[in-house]
Amino acid sequence: MICNDFKQVLSQEEESIRRRQDALELNNYRRLYQKREDCREWDLNDRNRWKSLKPTRLTDNDPRLGVSSGQIFAGEDLRASERKKAQQEQLKEYFDLQVTNSRQYISRVFSQNHIE
């Protein structure tokens, strides 16, 4: 009876070792031959896909746009970044002008009060 138990324990250990080895082999096979980039749906699942795509259109007169492309809409602003940069420069100039005007005013008032 003890002999049978010993054989049972050895059999279970061999089975667990074999399963562990099979799992290692399966993981190695998957790592080598079943990469994400090789699957059929990779173009749909690629996280960096949007980084490599070209924009849908570059200007209103883009030659890639056909008659029925539906890509030009009223109120769309393709040059928003350029416009915002120009507005920021304008605001900076305006604030600089206000600062200089206020300093001149303060110096004039101070000099008038100091003279009297």
Q: What is the pLDDT along the chain (116 residues), one digit of tens a residue?
A: 677 788 888 899 999 999 999 999 999 999 999 888 888 888 888 888 888 887 777 777 777 777 777 776 777 777 888 999 999 999 999 999 999 999 999 888 888 776 65
Q: Number of structural domains, the chain?
A: 2
* Model confidence pTM above 0.75: no
- Domain, as residue range, for 92: 81-116
Q: For residues 113 and 115, give the distance between their C-alpha atoms in angstroms, rounded to a whole number.
A: 5
In a domain, 21, yes or no: yes
In a domain, 25, yes or no: yes
Amino acid making up residue 31: R
In a domain, 55, yes or no: no
Are the beta carbons of 46 and 40 closer than 8 angstroms? Answer: no
In a domain, 3, yes or no: yes
In a domain, 116, yes or no: yes
HSE-up (13 A, CA, CB side) for residue 44: 3
Which phi and psi angles does 73 have, rounded to 5°?
-125, 150
In a domain, 110, yes or no: yes
Amino acid 48: pLDDT: 85
